[in-house]
Amino acid sequence: MKKVIYLQKIGDVDDIVLKKLKKNLNSFFKEFIDSVEISPDSIPLKVSEYSPSKRQYNGSLTVRRLYKYCNERKHFRTLGIIDKDIFSGEFKFIFGNAIIPKKQDLNSPGASLIQIKRLKEGFYNRPENKAQFELRVLKEAIHELGHTFCLEHCNNKCVMQFSNSLLEADEKPAKFCLSCSKKLKDLFGNLD
Ligand SMILES: [Zn+2]
Ligand SMILES: [Zn+2]
């Protein structure tokens, strides 16, 4: 199987965000994967995944739809990008989520999702900061893709730290700790 990470728009997403993320993920994961590609088609937003009372989309439903979509296409990994606020279960909001492979292997497809709405300073009525925004998008993307590569939350100084606020998201580094790096190397080493 060709190891491609597909970036998948859900609804309208600025192409500049995807192009920058593609470039950043390509260099970040270059030792593990063949390439990062932008899917030419956009998956539509769904009214059935929208909660009018919360004014948010249900990220759990969206990521499951995405998983089904990439499973049918036999895509290696998919990262959905949505420019809407999302929630999941009891969490008032989430930056992203992922379907973690049941078995600790990379042969079954994996899908993940990030929102970019809450990564923009404008969401908090502050002036935009392009470099900061791009770094946030990259970190959340690495984190959710990390889950699809069977990584769990990590307490080290690591991109796999759980973050429940923008401050926590900003504080975690844009890299894996030694322990998570080793797990990744082992998993990709076992991949045929
Ligand atoms: Zn996580
Ligand atoms: Zn770690």
Q: Does the pLDDT value for residue 180 go beyond 90?
A: yes
pLDDT tens for each residue of 103-160: 777 888 899 999 999 999 999 999 999 999 999 999 999 999 999 999 999 999 999 9
> Residues 36, 142: contact at Cβ < 8 Å?
no
Q: What pLDDT is recorded for position 76?
A: 93
Q: Between 40 and 137, whose confidence is greater?
A: 137
Please give the model's pTM, rounded to 2 decimal places. 0.96
Distances (CA, A) of 73 to 6, 63, 105, 111, 153: 11, 15, 19, 12, 28
Q: What's 126's domain CATH number?
A: 3.40.390.10
Q: What pLDDT is recorded for position 192?
A: 64
Q: Does the pLDDT value for residue 47 go beyond 70?
A: yes
- The one catalytic residue in 144, 152, 168, 171 is 144
Pick the ligand that lies closest to the CA of residue 162.
1
Return the bridge partners of 35, or none: 4
Domain with 178, as residue range(s), is 4-189
> What is the mean predicted confidence (pLDDT) over 81-95?
96
As a whole number of angstroms, the distance between CA 166 and CA 159 comes to 14
Residue 189 Cα, ligand 1 centroid: separation in angstroms?
Answer: 23
Number of domains within the chain:
1
**Pairing outcome for strands 50-51 and 4-10:** unpaired
Mean residue pLDDT of the chain comes to 95
